[in-house]
Amino acid sequence: MYRFKLKEQPQSEKAFQQERLRAFDEVSDKMARLKVLIDDARVDTEKFYKENPTSFSVVYSTDLAVDYIEDVIKMFNQDQEEE
């Protein structure tokens, strides 16, 4: 049993749909921000490896990032069957 209840406010279909569509703008904005962060991380990683040419250190967890991004792609790729 849940201890808390969500407070539901009456909302018109139009307001709901507009809110859902605005969420796509937010996702796009965050993706643009992510692109900048990824580019910066690559520069940082290149700098680290130039300064530490024998290093096997992982500067940023790109493997984990790829897994997360693949999950997001699957979420938005509803027309494709599961692999």
Higher pLDDT, 9 or 83: 9
Residue 2: per-residue pLDDT: 61
Residues in Cβ contact with 45 at an 8 Å cutoff, skipping those fewer than 6 apart: 59, 60
Q: Which of 17, 64, 60 is nearest to 42 (CA)?
A: 60
The angle subtended at Cα 64 by Cα 61 and Cα 68, nearest 5°, is: 135
Residue 78: per-residue pLDDT: 82
Residues in Cβ contact with 38 at an 8 Å cutoff, skipping those fewer than 6 apart: 65
